[in-house]
Amino acid sequence: MIKNYLKVAWRNIINNKVYSAINILGLATGIAVALLIALWVSNEYSYDKFLPEYEQAYQVRRNFNSNGETLTFSTTSLKLANALRTTIPEIESVAESDGGSSHGLMVGEKKLYVSGVISGSEFLNIFKFPMLRGSAATALTDPYSIVLNQATAIALFGTDDVINKIVRLDNAHNLKVTGVMNDIPSNSAMQSIKYIIPFSFMEQTQNWVKGAHGSFGYNAFAIYVKLKPGITYAQVAPKIKNIEKGEDNINAKNSDVIMQPLKDWHLYADYKNGIASAGFIDYVRIFSVIGILVLLIACVNFINLTTARSEKRAREVGIRKAIGSQRKHLIFQFLTESVLITFISFLCSILFVQLALESFNALTGSMIRIPFTSVVFWVVTISCVLVTSLIAGSRPAFYLSSFNPVKVLKGTIQVGRSASLSRKILVVVQFSCSVALIISTLVIYRQIQYAKNRPTGYNINRLMASNMNSDLIKNYSALRNDLLQSGLVENMTNATSPATDVAWHNDIDSWPGKLAGETVEMGTVIVADSYFKTLGMKILSGRDFYNAPSDTSSVVFNEVAIKRLRLKNPINQVITWNGKQVRIIGVVKDALMISPFAKADPTMFIFGADPHDNIIYRLAPNVNPHIAVEKIGQMFTKYNPAYPFTYRFVDDDYNRKFGQEVLIGKLSGVFAGLAIFISCLGLFGLAAYIAEQRTKEIGVRKVLGATVSQLWFLLSRDFVLLVIISCVIASPVALYFLQNWLQKYDYRVNIGPGVFLVSATAAIAITLLTISFQAIKAAIANPVKSLRSE
């Protein structure tokens, strides 16, 4: 019986090649989109779950009460690390860290500048990255040791068998290789780690770190912990919450200590009121819904085309029923056809996904592959295919099997038109989803452009940056003089933060007008002379730093910081910061140093005579950037011969801040295009069917004098009306969700009527292009041929 059903199903596919091709192509595209999104979503959820005992790994964070507003910081103190280690028995391991940094590694003539982490000896017990060489238990016990990933070891030595070999760090220290670990995969929040250096090395070589153990207020470090087996965060949370509050320190008294599990780092990076409730998870959920919607759009095509062609199969149903077939047999027959078409579509979708993966991975920065060897993958996908075939085939199966055989065989039933209302409803649903995606894509694009066109408060054009190291620190003054004298560089400075970020937040102890119990924690940047001039930041009142010893007791605030402190006449007022009094000498215009979508961060700029981590320099306006970079590199190499010249353009750093939104915009555009494509396939098939059904009517109208344009309008009118209804439905729905999405941005675009008009016009134009071929083909046909049978 099943064999017979399959034969009949295959025969119907072969006998209706055009409609079968439309069905298969539409379903294959829909399944491919759903499968691609499912693989991507699975990859996003899989971050760091390959690590053994990942459920017990956490990062310590602080919820700081800033006058009723809860601000969450990932920077913590070394004193907190010691307190967690000694007073919380439920914690198995604690590792303090610099939070990640980049350093130069050298072996002979081979030189690399790579990112890594300086962390406590228990880091590899918390994060159990597979070790190829050495022991995780002892690899970080020697201060002058280093653990490399396999790729870095091979790049430096040509092999990963490098235990006890020497690597020179920043041309200043020799470190012994005590371990080699597997390269960290792309689905890890720590994928940038190429090396690990013991934190004890930092304590021995940097004096300021030794003094940082004494206060909970010295928040410049990251802390990672691992809970003991069987211990949950709920058991630990009450014990760590107030662990800092015994210290007479404004920051400590107003900070609650919390922890975030490793499994949430990637998807829940945004904190609101002290709770990790948002982040990339929002986009993962959105695209999960989009995948389902696109698949449903493809199913609607199948339903519409199958029910539309019901007249072709009405006599088959009538004859089958007349010779004894029961309705359940007919239902099974039509469902078999649906399953067969869906499985053919599924096989095509696998091919589509395989062809698209390289481009998709390049777009998303992923390393997604179809897991052909995974039993779970095949069980889940085949189950989904079966469900899809039931969704797509159930309506046609129950509809076709319901025909009355007597009426069908007498020709008194109008089978094709009885389902026209449901077809119209499905077309409206289909295009409503597609139009909503078009609107979303346009709004995302406008939001990105709106933020990109926002004044930054400084000039990012022709601005470059390089990282400082020990040789550059020693030779900074000579390097700066050479660059300025060369005419290649207009200005040059250095600071503790990059031009596009604020790396350090600190408390202000007191200021004029401070209220009892009031707290202020703001961005802190220690800068060298010419900082504001180099970045192009405008001094609104007061003055810049003079590079004089007295300026080490001076401070410049940005506008929003002055407003936060409620200072009416700030110049020459004295505040207390970091235990010492400093005088306000200037107010600088707000600059977007953190997020281009948010308000400027309250920031204070402190003058520091010693060179800092980030070198910032501006190219002269009359030099060719390519030639300038080559010549600047030669000067850097003169004073830093041990390592290659590394640089970045600040405008590139700034544009990377839009990376997530640009990715979402591109994905939305791609999936909106595919949804429209699938919808248009359905329209094309329906238009062909309707033109076929109305062939004689069109012939009569032509004989009576109807023009081609009149017939084109006749055949197109109903479809255009359905699309207009779809636009009316889609617009308020899209508006509701997009307004909610935009609320996450302080600086956001207004959604005006233009977006909806453009989307509606595009949808109508695409509809007309799709159906015009069939409409015009029917309109120009010879009426003699269509009426001959009469």
- How far out from the chain centre does Cα 522 lie? 27
Host H or E run for residue 583: strand 580-588
Task: Quick: pLDDT tens for 467-491.
Answer: 888 889 889 999 999 999 999 999 9
Amino acid at 583: R
Helix 420-452 vs helix 753-779: angle between axes, to the nearest 10 degrees?
140
pLDDT of res. 2: 67
pLDDT of res. 397: 64
Question: What is the C-alpha separation between 307 and 684, in angstroms, rounded?
Answer: 15
CA dihedral 658, 664, 670, 673 (to 10 degrees): -110
Tokens at 35, concatenated: 């499968």
Question: What is the C-alpha separation between 726 and 760, in angstroms, rounded?
Answer: 9
Q: What is the largest CA-CA distance in the chain?
A: 106
pLDDT of res. 788: 62
pLDDT of res. 712: 80
Task: Quick: pLDDT tens for 648-682.
Answer: 999 999 998 888 888 888 888 888 888 888 888 87
Tokens at 575, concatenated: 């505040």
Q: Do 61 and 260 form a contact (C-beta atoms < 8 A)?
A: yes
| Short-list 690, 754, 2, CA closest to 339 | 2
Map residue 615 onto helix, strand or coil: strand
Q: Do 220 and 96 form a contact (C-beta atoms < 8 A)?
A: no
Pairing of strands 574-577, 554-558: unpaired
Question: What is the C-alpha separation between 555 and 576, in angstroms, rounded?
Answer: 11
Helix 695-703 vs helix 708-742: angle between axes, to the nearest 10 degrees?
130
Within 8 A by CB and 6+ apart from 86, the residues are none
pTM attached to this predicted model: 0.82
Instruction: For 276, list phi and psi in degrees, rounded to 5.
Output: -80, 90
Question: What is the C-alpha separation between 209 and 750, in angstroms, rounded?
Answer: 48
Tokens at 30, concatenated: 């829909």
CA dihedral 173, 176, 178, 182 (to 10 degrees): 70
Could you report how far apart the first and last alpha carbons of the chain are, in Å?
A: 41
Residue 784: count other Cβ atoms within 10 Å of its Cβ.
10
| Short-list 237, 235, 207, 221, CA closest to 79 | 221
Residue 529 per-residue DSSP state? T
Per-position b or e across 362-398, b if 16+ CB within 10 A of its CB: eeeebebeeeeeeeebeeebeebbeebbebbbbbbbe
pLDDT of res. 413: 54
- How far out from the chain centre does Cα 506 lie? 29
Question: What is the C-alpha separation between 217 and 250, in angstroms, rounded?
Answer: 8
Host H or E run for residue 282: helix 281-308
Tokens at 701, concatenated: 């109208």
Q: Mean pLDDT of successive 10-residue segments in the chain (790 residues)?
A: 65 72 87 92 92 95 85 89 94 93 89 92 95 94 96 95 94 93 93 95 87 79 95 94 82 88 92 86 89 86 70 61 65 76 90 92 87 90 86 68 59 53 81 90 90 90 91 91 94 93 84 84 89 94 83 91 92 89 94 89 89 91 92 93 88 90 87 87 76 72 77 81 92 92 87 92 88 76 63
Q: Do 427 and 682 form a contact (C-beta atoms < 8 A)?
A: yes
Angle at 381 between CA 377 and CA 385, to 5 degrees: 170
Question: What is the C-alpha separation between 649 and 41, in angstroms, rounded?
Answer: 33
| Short-list 236, 241, 123, 103, CA closest to 175 | 103
Can you count the helices (H) and strands (E) in the chain? 26, 25
Amino acid at 374: S
Q: What is the Rg, in whole angstroms, of the alpha carbon atoms belonging to the chain? A: 34
User: In the block, which residue shows the tokens 């003054």?
Assistant: 477
